[in-house]
Structure 1
């Protein structure tokens, strides 16, 4: 039998992990103000000291910024602005592990899409369509675009009706979002994303499980190649 070694973990570490995940998955958007220390302490049922330690770690990672003054507070920084400096080498250094995450993703998300095609409601279809259409609006910023992409994929997993798929996709996106935030943002990128997402939405709307599974698989494969070209090939050159 194989057992994992027991390791002491501070309360602040648990708080850090949850807040970092929420920021990476765009639950908190750029320039959005986080709850106060007192409010976070109440949410996590922890001491303000533990919350303060977690926030200090987030600030050190360049994810948040504390501001003083009448409109002061703790604000989320735009991930995609500083991601090139912060994560390119991290992604390249952990590329072997990233490939394992993509292998896992290529199993989980296509299967989730298959189930979703059989179970998705009209309201959920309209929600997905709304994400796609908003991503093509002229005032859609890079941060909003990335947020909509995350919401699109998480919503498909949720619509599968299987909590395990939803949790798995959330964990997957936490791992790959730093790499996705390195991708360029322009009209061609938006159009390509629109076309791929619409192809998937059409299959879901038609209740075509195999079509949805195939569209998701193709989308994932192209994403892997795009990230590799951006992070590894461009980095080497």
Structure 2
């Protein structure tokens, strides 16, 4: 028969606390331990996403300096949810790829148009178009105005994919705005469009001037030399 593990005297082996096992400092244990324990219980054991800690750390909406952070948080949350959905419906298709595919299906475009549409660099837009072309969702051909550009058109396979994901994506975005009234959704779209339409302030470049070579010491002025000639 196996012997029980040895203990020091009659005392039971000491069990580390929940916060100690996770490396939480003692000064933070009293404040965070109950919430972290609840988060683990919901997320790990029951598969429920607990958004409490993320909401507590959300920037203050009344502070205008937090507007960029709030916009980034909202955009990333939508991108995460959309990426999970696309991973089930069309593995390998990213939210940016879906936006580009919808844009090209409405209006054939080149890399510059797509870059402006996404607010990305031309190289980033070119990589997205290359991935879509490799999957057979779009086809790229020389532009009829400028053969240095490549015009992108959607293929039948790309249109079929858009038709397949359109309804689930619309349902996902509708759920994201579930707590808003119709007029609030309208005002939100208008405000976001106004922010996106603000003119881009590009840095001004200083005029380049040709440096003048200083005259050699003791040399006669140019006017005097010309007059002597």
Higher relative contact order (CA 8 A, sep 6+): 1
Shorter-chain TM-score above 0.5: no
Q: More helix per residue: 1 or 2?
A: 1
Pick the structure with greater CA Rg: 2
TM-score by length of 2: 0.28
